[in-house]
């Protein structure tokens, strides 16, 4: 399979190695120094593009791929306010687009555990819920996309919470997300339910970026045969 990498930072390099180990070919590596080269790629020269770049350029990268007939998956966070526009473009172009806030198989199973627990906790009003996410100091956005997905899982199922905030809050309707940045932390996310008598906590701890990268390559292998906007629920048949 011919893969284009959009973004060639730490994640891009790990994805490259896993893709090569699995017998694929990297036909392009697009980064800030050669961003204009993306316009020259199309569905005849690239089977799939894997986009892990920066929030400021992600949307332009993705729209170029869709217009040029390249199936593309993205793990970049911080640009999702433009997601409806991109989904409209996918429909207009009969394109293929996949987004996940986290490509780790374990994290996506964790998302489902979070939703199930939130449903159980909805009637238990004596429990307060909050979240903590920890990432490496180079991560620019906060909260993380993974944390936002977890928060949405809580908000969809715990009726007493109306919105998330990226700070400690005393307002009963707000779900706190505390974002911490520490050296060499690939990603840790925890959801806590606290009461006077006990606490319940679920937690996912990544040991390296390899799980994220492997998941992205597995999705890339699956994506070229799909059409439209796809998600991890589609890929994992959840």
The catalytic residues are 135, 139
Residues 6+ apart with CB under 8 A from 130: 175, 176, 177, 178, 191, 192, 194
Tell me whether residue 60 is annotated as binding. Answer: no
Tell me whether residue 136 is annotated as binding. Answer: yes
Q: Structure tokens of 40?
A: 């020259």
Q: Which helix (H) or strand (E) holds 216?
A: helix 210-222
Tell me whether residue 100 is annotated as binding. Answer: yes
Tell me whether residue 149 is annotated as binding. Answer: no
User: Given phi > 0 = left and psi -120 to 50 = alpha, else beta, which region is 227?
Assistant: beta
Residues 6+ apart with CB under 8 A from 176: 130, 131, 164, 165, 167, 168, 169
Tell me whether residue 36 is annotated as binding. Answer: no
Q: Structure tokens of 191?
A: 């959801």
Tell me whether residue 188 is annotated as binding. Answer: no
Tell me whether residue 68 is annotated as binding. Answer: no
Tell me whether residue 23 is annotated as binding. Answer: no
Tell me whether residue 32 is annotated as binding. Answer: yes
Residues 6+ apart with CB under 8 A from 226: 71, 96, 98, 234
Tell me whether residue 205 is annotated as binding. Answer: no
Q: DSSP state, 40?
A: G
Pick from 102, 51, 131, 91: which is nearest to 211 by CA? Answer: 102
Q: Which amino acids are annotated as binding site for (S)-2,3,4,5-tetrahydrodipicolinate, given as ranges? A: 136, 145-146
Q: Which residues are annotated as a binding site for NAD(+)?
A: 31, 75-77, 100-103
**Residues at the annotated binding site?**
31-32, 75-77, 100-103, 136, 145-146
């Amino acid at each position: 399979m011919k893969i284009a990498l959009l973004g060639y930072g730490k994640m891009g390099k790990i994805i490259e190695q896993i893709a090569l180990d699995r017998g694929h070919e990297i036909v392009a590596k697009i980064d800030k120094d050669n961003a204009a080269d993306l316009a020259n790629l199309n569905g005849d020269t690239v089977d799939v593009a894997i986009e892990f770049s920066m929030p400021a350029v992600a949307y332009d990268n993705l729209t170029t791929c869709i217009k040029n007939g390249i199936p593309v998956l993205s793990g970049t966070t911080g640009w999702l306010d433009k997601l409806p526009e991109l989904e409209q473009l996918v429909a207009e172009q009969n394109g293929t687009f996949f987004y996940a806030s986290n490509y780790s198989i374990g994290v996506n199973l964790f998302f489902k555990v979070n939703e199930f627990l939130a449903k159980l906790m909805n009637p238990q009003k004596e429990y307060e819920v909050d979240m903590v996410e920890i990432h490496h100091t180079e991560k620019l956005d906060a909260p993380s996309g993974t944390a936002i997905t977890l928060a949405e899982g809580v908000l969809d199922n715990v009726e007493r919470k109306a919105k998330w905030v990226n700070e400690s809050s005393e307002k009963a309707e707000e779900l706190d997300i505390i974002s911490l940045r520490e050296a060499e932390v690939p990603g840790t996310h925890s959801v806590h339910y606290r009461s006077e008598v006990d606490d319940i906590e679920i937690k996912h701890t990544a040991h390296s970026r390899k799980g994220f990268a492997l998941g992205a390559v597995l999705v890339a292998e699956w994506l070229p045969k799909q059409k439209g906007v796809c998600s991890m629920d589609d890929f994992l048949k959840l």
